[in-house]
Structure 1
Amino acid sequence: MAAAVLRGDEELLTGRWWGLVMLAALCAGCGNGDSMESIGGPTMGSTWSVKYVRHAGLADPAQVRGEVEGILGEVDRQMSTYRSDSDIERFNALPADSCQTLPAAVLNLIRVGEQLSIQSEGSYDLTVEPLMNLWGFGPQGREETVPDPAALAEVMQRVGHQHLRIEGERLCKDAAVEVDFNSIAAGYAVDAIAIRLQAMGIDNYLVEATGELKANGKKLNGSPWRIALEEPRDDRQVAERIIDVDGYGVSTSGDYRSYFLQDGRRYSHTLDARSGRPVLHELASVTVIHPSALMADGLSTLLLILGPEKARDYAQKNDIAAFFVLRADTGFVTGTSQAFEQLMAAKN
């Protein structure tokens, strides 16, 4: 659940485990009939929120709420792994050598997932739902525990993007794979909401869904939307860095909110599809800033899986604006990609 703590004219909102916090001035009726509107509600087991500057003649909060809830409802019906009647779960229930007609949005996410899987040499993969369940983190997970090696080996036979193919409007599989969109669905939803707001004439907004967000324009008083990148702690919130955002999606993936301990070892929900096991390295969280919230969502997960050295190399090679937080003996240390520093410098 999101929590809100008022601090003067700012509101501190937290998303899900990956730890994004938003700082947004709340001001209403500040001249020319304009106002700052704020709406929100539950979605995907967490929350969503939209803040926007309403000029005279633009959509009122009730209209915007209806549009946003329509988009989120469609995403849930198409992509949720927590309802058996969603489009993707009906596909997941099919046996090997099956095909199913799916919406264009679902097929587009499959293509994005394939791209990220290839670029990560298979570390990132959308077909990890059986692994998530096996380790106790998925919708059908029964117990958070280290699985038996034989069970892990069996599940690994059903993991891998190479088992999927798109034929026209159909998604097909040659093994009993199960697709999990949790690493990109929220980012997709944020982009879809942003596009709808723009179509409604709303140019100044901050959209958030389950911690993924996108900001455009300015707040009512002309100041920028400000995002605090949170230190990866599970006991309290500490802002590592505060950035201005305009025209970008922001996503943070971290291993510090969903994990279990067994025999003195920490196992996070972030899985490497090549090994079928949780990642074990010092990289605690990654924030990616990208024009597409969808790509920021997927890339932050991909970089977290790769680990500190490979993630830095990948970000440098692909010109990705990334902010890294690593565990060290003395606490946490941070690092950035060149693209991140260039983006921050351009805003100053």
Structure 2
Amino acid sequence: MTLAGSRQWQVLWGVMALLAGCGAGERLESISGPTMGSTWSVQYVRPSGGPQAAAVKAEVEAILAEVDRQMSTYRSDSDIERFNRLPAHACQPMPEPVLQLVRVGEQLSRDSDGAFDLTVEPLLDLWGFGPQGRAEKIPDAGALAEVRQRVGHGLLRIEGSQLCKEAAVEVDFNSIAAGYAVDRIAARLGALGITSYLAEATGELKAVGRKPDGTPWRIALEEPRDDRQVAERVIAVDGYGVSTSGDYRNYFEQDGQRYSHTFDARAGRPIAHKLASVTVVHPSALMADGLSTLLLILGPEAGWDYAEKQAIAAFFVMRADTGFVTRSNPAFDRLFPGRPK
């Protein structure tokens, strides 16, 4: 049972060294497990009398199970898959978290002039990347034209507690669901009295507070390579969600051209530019998740302009003839001043 399935999430890997020392009565707990076709993990500082690891793990797994039941496109009984099977001009009652993500998707679609879109699942399937994809290949023009009639956030609407469709659209939350799950986990940790933690699901993460020895949670931003993991830059995070989207883990090549799983809904095809990955740092892991995808779709120029206009902290990695070129915007540099590491 997965949400991400064949999509390889762009993983941020934490630089979490062993503690040099702990405060009195404090200890660093670590829990993890499978989710969404990948994994989740939480490290948190447990004070004396604080919640045990087993109890926290049960809470996290309950949240992830709910997200899977509501939003997975890889299980036929999920709320969103039951909606996806409905014909045009149909409605279905939805839990509030699903409607919340539809509203976020509508905002991101509107802000990107339709480049970001939650209804691209038929395109993903057609190109071989989605849950119903059969083979990774360039589709013929007729099939592409037909599928594009069923893509567009404007074909969705919310009526009270119901989600409705004007055409046989299919919704895919892969670009924001993991960030949403991390925010839910972070809120639950706070409710349990945990004030210092690093929570991660499929590479989307949020870090709050500090480790028992007073050092910050340090996150390595991964160089966009498909052969090995290399840290492009290391940042110390407190109170923010961090998300990286890239085109380097799930793609195919045909006739010398690279086709990634990241789609521009306006064109009905994978992105084709030199922007290899984008990292966004935002107070909300959900928004970091969605915005990193949006900026990647828009590309190195339009994405940069959008981030500047909206004061989004972003770190761009572009392909160049000699390797990769990085660029961080002023909002990012204000959060992480000093020489890049």
- Distance between the aligned counterparts of 1:100 and 1:237, measured in 2? 43
Structure 2 residue 286 is matched with structure 1 residue 294: yes
The size of the alignment, in residue pairs, is 334
For residue 104 of structure 2, what is the aligned residue in structure 1? Answer: 112
Structure 2 counterparts to residues 1-348 of structure 1, below 5 A: 16-27=8-19, 30-345=22-337
Does the CA-based 8 Å contact 1:28-1:34 persist in structure 2?
no
Does the CA-based 8 Å contact 1:78-1:106 persist in structure 2?
yes
Q: Which SS does the other structure have where 2:49 is aligned?
A: coil
Distance 1:346 1:191, change over 3 A: farther
Superposition TM-score, scaled by structure 2 size: 0.96
Query: CA shift at 1:238, angstroms?
Result: 1.2
Does the CA-based 8 Å contact 2:275-2:319 persist in structure 1?
yes
CA RMSD of aligned residues (A): 1.6
Letter in 2 for 1:158: R
Does the CA-based 8 Å contact 1:287-1:322 persist in structure 2?
yes
- Distance between the aligned counterparts of 1:29 and 1:241, measured in 2? 25
Q: Deviations over 1:104-135 (max 9, x none)?
A: 00000000000000000000000001001001
- Distance between the aligned counterparts of 2:41 and 2:88, measured in 1? 39
- Distance between the aligned counterparts of 2:339 and 2:238, measured in 1? 9
Q: Which SS does the other structure have where 2:336 is aligned?
A: helix
Does the CA-based 8 Å contact 2:247-2:260 persist in structure 1?
yes
Q: Deviations over 1:170-198 (max 9, x none)?
A: 00011000000000000000000000000
Does the CA-based 8 Å contact 1:52-1:206 persist in structure 2?
yes
Letter in 1 for 2:178: A
Letter in 1 for 2:169: V
- Distance between the aligned counterparts of 1:279 and 1:179, measured in 2? 20
- Distance between the aligned counterparts of 1:61 and 1:52, measured in 2? 9
- Distance between the aligned counterparts of 2:259 and 2:153, measured in 1? 24
Letter in 2 for 1:187: G
Letter in 2 for 1:169: S
Distance 1:59 1:144, change over 3 A: same
Query: CA shift at 1:213, angstroms?
Result: 0.2
Identity %: 72
Does the CA-based 8 Å contact 1:244-1:347 persist in structure 2?
no
Q: Deviations over 1:265-296 (max 9, x none)?
A: 11000000001100000000000000000000
Superposition TM-score, scaled by structure 1 size: 0.94
Does the CA-based 8 Å contact 1:28-1:36 persist in structure 2?
no
- Distance between the aligned counterparts of 1:182 and 1:95, measured in 2? 22
Does the CA-based 8 Å contact 2:20-2:213 persist in structure 1?
no
Query: CA shift at 1:160, angstroms?
Result: 0.2
Q: Which SS does the other structure have where 2:337 is aligned?
A: helix
- Distance between the aligned counterparts of 1:185 and 1:112, measured in 2? 11
For residue 4 of structure 1, what is the aligned residue in structure 2? Answer: none
